[in-house]
């Protein structure tokens, strides 16, 4: 079988790469082993323009957020499903200092920070003592629907192979690659945190970061906001909410732990005034890295082998933008943003 590109992995990166290749009419095949708890499947799907205790804008948000919003809307039409809705964050301040920090940033950051209209509306749902502010606009993406709908399309077109990709079976030639019976010009790895074991890219400065989540039922809570304090409560599938998450740089295994569940239930009991019921407990590992910038481009010694990875905590906003940039590079030889181009690691990768 002959194709132009093999993509390994159909998380959010592989899905968007496949989408932009499809838009340009470029043949490709995805190899993805369907696993229940990948980073993309466990992610809450929030695009939040403001981060951290200092309430600063996230990197490139002015470019990546509008691009992502347009991309998800385009895909909604293409796949005939709902993928994105504006869902602002109500940020309940955890201390008087955090309230002060918010109030001080408010006049400087009017594009994304605002006061909450009718804050008393939240009094019947939450215990909070230092007020709340709003981050607006934020967006909520249904990544699971996106990936499953795109997978259906690939399956119908016979361009998805649901299997484990094993590097031993990849042959690299001067002008391309062969994987089992598939010949392609290039292979692009969108393998998420498995990239840390990838023989061509494992020397990139990955810093995997684990996140655990509870999926809970909260019958009485309105679903038109994301609620944030030390935890976030995010509308999830059907009538459920996603509650999380941890950001662990040191962890023994990627699986859910009792300690997270116990701690989170205690925090939820303190924060919520309405009853909740835990339905599920998920966990996965973010493909983060010490630079907090994606990995995009081709291996310096093997131009047939590429990568789109390293999205860290921001796959929902970064993946659409940089998948498109990568495909434009492939078709029109445009430049990849030097901050994400893996050329910056040429020395390390050439070892």
CA separation (Å) from 111 to 55, 108, 140, 151? 12, 9, 18, 36
Q: Residue 227 CB, nearest distance to ligand FAD (Å)?
A: 14
Report how far residue 4's alpha carbon sits from residue 21's, in angstroms, rounded to the nearest whole number: 10
**Alpha carbon distance 338, 341 (integer Å):** 5
Give, in order, the Cα–Cα distances in Å from 35 to each of 40, 158, 284, 345. Answer: 11, 20, 11, 30
H helical segments located in 24-108: 39-42, 61-79, 96-105
Burial call 175-204: b when 16+ CB within 10 Å, e when fewer: ebbebeebbbbbbbbbbbbbbbebebbeeb
Nearer to ligand FAD, 64 or 99 (CB): 64
Q: Cβ closer to ligand FAD: 40 or 136?
A: 40
**273 Cβ contact partners less than 8 Å away, ≥ 6 residues apart:** 124, 125, 126, 127
**For ligand FAD, the closer CB: 69 or 316:** 316
Nearer to ligand FAD, 250 or 347 (CB): 250
Chain contacts with ligand FAD (rule: CB under 6 A): 8-14, 31-33, 35, 38-40, 42-46, 164-165, 190-194, 211, 213, 244-245, 284, 286-287, 309, 311-317
Q: How far is the CB of 129 from ligand FAD (least distance, A)?
A: 26
Task: Give the integer Cα–Cα distance in Å for 71 and 172.
Answer: 33
- The least CB distance from residue 211 to ligand FAD, in Å, is 3
Where do the H-state alpha helices sit in 196-272?
258-271
Whichever of 99 and 194 has its CB closer to ligand FAD, that residue is 194
**Shortest approach of ligand FAD to residue 37 CB, angstroms?**
9
- Smallest separation (angstroms) from ligand FAD to the CB of 141: 8
Q: How many CB atoms neighbour CB 299 within 10 A?
A: 19
Q: Which neighbouring-strand residues pair with 232? A: 228, 244
Query: Nearest distance from residue 285's CB to ligand FAD, in Å?
Result: 6
CA-to-CA distance for 195 and 20, rounded, in angstroms?
Answer: 22
Q: What backbone torsions phi and psi does residue 140 show, to the nearest 5 degrees?
A: -120, 125
Residue 100 CB, nearest approach to ligand FAD (Å):
27
**Nearest to ligand FAD of 119, 246 (CB atom):** 246
Residue (14 or 133) nearer to ligand FAD, CB: 14
């Amino acid at each position: 079988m002959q194709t132009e590109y093999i993509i390994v992995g159909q998380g959010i990166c592989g899905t968007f790469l496949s989408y932009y290749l499809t838009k340009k009419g470029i043949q490709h095949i995805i190899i993805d082993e369907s696993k229940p708890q990948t980073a993309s499947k466990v992610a809450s799907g929030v695009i939040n323009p403001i981060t951290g205790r200092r309430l600063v804008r996230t990197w490139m948000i002015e470019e990546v957020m509008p691009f992502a919003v347009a991309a998800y809307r385009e895909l909604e039409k293409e796949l005939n499903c709902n993928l994105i809705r504006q869902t602002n964050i109500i940020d309940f301040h955890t201390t008087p200092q955090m309230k002060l920090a918010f109030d001080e940033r408010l006049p400087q950051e009017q594009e994304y920070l605002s006061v909450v209209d009718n804050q008393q509306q939240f009094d019947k749902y939450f215990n909070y003592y230092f007020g709340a502010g709003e981050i607006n606009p934020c967006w909520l993406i249904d990544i699971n629907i996106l990936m499953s709908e795109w997978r259906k399309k690939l399956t119908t077109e016979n361009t998805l192979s649901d299997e484990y990709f094993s590097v031993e079976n990849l042959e690299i030639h001067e002008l391309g690659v062969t994987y089992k019976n598939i010949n392609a010009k290039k292979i692009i790895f969108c393998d998420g945190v498995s990239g840390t074991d990838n023989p061509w890219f494992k020397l990139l400065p990955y810093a995997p970061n684990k996140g655990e989540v509870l999926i809970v039922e909260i019958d009485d809570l309105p679903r038109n906001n994301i609620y944030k304090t030390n935890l976030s409560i995010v509308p999830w599938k059907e009538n459920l909410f996603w509650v999380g998450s941890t950001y662990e740089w040191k962890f023994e295994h990627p699986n859910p732990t009792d300690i997270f569940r116990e701690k989170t239930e205690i925090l939820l009991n303190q924060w919520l005034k309405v009853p909740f019921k835990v339905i599920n407990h998920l966990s996965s590992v973010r493909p983060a890295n010490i630079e907090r910038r994606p990995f995009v481009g081709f291996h310096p010694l093997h131009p047939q082998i590429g990568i789109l990875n390293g999205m860290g905590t921001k796959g929902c906003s970064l993946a659409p933008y940089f998948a498109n940039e990568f495909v434009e590079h492939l078709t029109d030889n445009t430049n990849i943003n030097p901050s994400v181009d893996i050329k910056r690691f040429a020395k390390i990768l050439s070892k």
